[in-house]
Amino acid sequence: MSLLQIRQLRVQYSNPEDELPTPVLDIPDWGVAAGEQVVLLGASGSGKTTLLHVVAGLILPTSGEVRLGDTDITRLDEASRDRFRAANIGYIFQQVHLLPAFTALENVLLGMKFADNRAGTAEALALLESVGLRERARYFPRQLSAGQQQRVGIARALANRPRLVLADEPTSALDARHRDVVIDLMQRMCQDIGAALIVVTHDEAVARRFPTAVRLADINHVH
């Protein structure tokens, strides 16, 4: 049984000038199994990020069902979606999205805070250790390189032991060497906690590093 199950998903953007809304996504059926690692390939503007936002519950689809385990997140109210997202989904952003006011450690702790995760500093430090940044825990984002920042981002996304990790072009700001480090890290850490991983990218080089690569165009009926 799939961990993530999408059925009859339609997302349209209403266009103020046009009478007709612009369809973005039309996915009849797609799923990801628990612990599976999938790369989703697509050109920019093809709706990859929109799909991740829908899966994360950040936007509601026009219609359809997005089920994570037993929960159809499209049926939750906003506050419940926030809580559900905090506890079940780890999000790794395209650009580096660490909060500049907080240290690496605090960025990880903030990730825990919203999930009411009582695990404290020790666990956050352990996470930083596993991304190789234990000794940089008290550094602010501006004191870290782009690759280091993205590793902190991975630690933050995994802080609540989510069932599903979503990564939106996680390596686009990195050079080839750091790209490989980050991808290895994501794969290894998701495996360690048994989380499914969906990486969206336009980069074939990234796609080659995953066992399963899906072209968005193959599952999306909007062209």
Partner 1 sequence: MHTLTVIYRNLRQRWLSTCLTALSIGLGVALVTAITALRQQAQANFDNVAASYELVVGAKGSPLQLVLNTVFHMDVPVGNLPYSYYRKLKADERVAYAVPLALGDNYRGFRLVGTEPEYFELVRLKDGQPVAVAQGRTFTADYEAVIGSIVARETGLALGQTFVARHGVEDTTAAEEHEEAPFTVVGILRETGTPLDRVIFISLGSVHEIHRESQSPAGKSLLEQLEALPAEPTAAGSPPEDKDEPDHHHHHRKTPAASAGDTPGGNKPAAPPGQSAPGQPAPSQAAADVPGQVIDEVTAIIVKLRSPGYLFLMHREINKGKDAQAALPGVEVQKLFTIVGTVDRALLLVSVLVVVVAAVSVLVAIYNSLAERRREVAVLRALGAHRRTVFGWLVWEAAITAALGGVVGVLIGHALLAAAGSSLKFLSGLPLDPWRWTRLEVGPAWLTAYVPFEVAVIAGTLLLGAVMGLLPAALAYRTNVARHLSE
Instruction: State the nearest-atom distance from the C-beta of 211 to partner 1, in Å.
Output: 27
Q: Which residue has the tokens 């999000």?
A: 91
Taking the least distance from each CB to partner 1, the nearer of 56 and 66 is 56
Q: Which residue, 111 or 170, has its beta carbon nearer to partner 1?
A: 111
CB-nearer residue toward partner 1: 4 or 124? 124
Q: Min. distance of Cβ 84 from partner 1 in angstroms?
A: 8
| CA–CA distance, 76 with 99 (Å, rounded to integer) | 27
| 31 token code pair | 């799923």
Q: Which residues bind partner 1 (CB under 8 A)?
A: 49-50, 53, 56, 58-59, 78-79, 82-83, 85-87, 91, 93-94, 97, 99-102, 106, 109-115, 156, 168
Instruction: Judge contact between 13 and 171, C-beta under 8 A.
Output: no
Minimum CB separation from partner 1 for residue 213, in Å?
Answer: 22
In 3D space, the residue among 66, 43, 28 whose CA is nearest the CA of residue 202 turns out to be 43
Which tokens in the block code for residue 6?
A: 């999408």
Counted residue by residue, the chain has a size of: 223
**Tokens 């069902």 belong to residue:** 65
Q: In terms of CB distance, is 47 or 147 closer to partner 1? A: 47
